[in-house]
Amino acid sequence: MDEKVLSKMLNIAEKFFGTARDTHQIPITMESFYRLQRLHPKTIVYRLESGEPISWVVVLPTQTKLMEKFLTGELDERELLDMTKPQNQYEAIYLCAAFTVPEHRRKGHVVNLFNDAIKEIPHVKDVKLFAWPFSQEGRKLAEHFNAKMDNKILIKV
């Protein structure tokens, strides 16, 4: 990934998600980017237009036992990343974050990017998908995704 594009994505995402002020979220930093990339290169999938990032998603492939602890509140998002180790096949995929610049929203970019990431990351046949929507848009996205997928997304409340 081009460092200039990555830097723009990180800056935009930090302004939106505010992870620097929340120690329970995965920090939006180069270190976190590299940790995700060690799990699989498709943990961050993005779309550019005229060389500028317009939409991207972040997924965290992990194990079922960690997913269950996250969903019940025994682990926070940062701990989920810290405890996840690289695998040949993953049992669960956390749909961690999605962002589209305002002028490109509602065009299906996020659903397509999540589908691309899920397809590329090696996983078991009955992979579990899960999410923690932060916004009303995130909840609507999860509902939309559930309507289109056979595999329903488990939601942390």
pLDDT at 129 over 80: yes
Q: What is the pLDDT of residues 59-92, one digit of tens each?
A: 999 999 999 999 999 999 999 999 999 999 999 9
**Residues in contact with 31: Cβ distance below 8 Å, sequence separation at least 6, in sequence order:** none
Work out the end-to-end distance of the chain between its first and last CA atoms, rounded to an integer number of angstroms: 33
pLDDT at 109 over 90: yes
Find the length of the chain. Answer: 157
The CATH code of the domain at 3-155 is 3.40.630
pLDDT at 150 over 80: no
Q: What is the pTM of this model?
A: 0.89
125 vs 43, 73, 121, 140, CA distance in Å?
Answer: 18, 26, 12, 26
The neighbouring-strand residues paired with 46 are 56
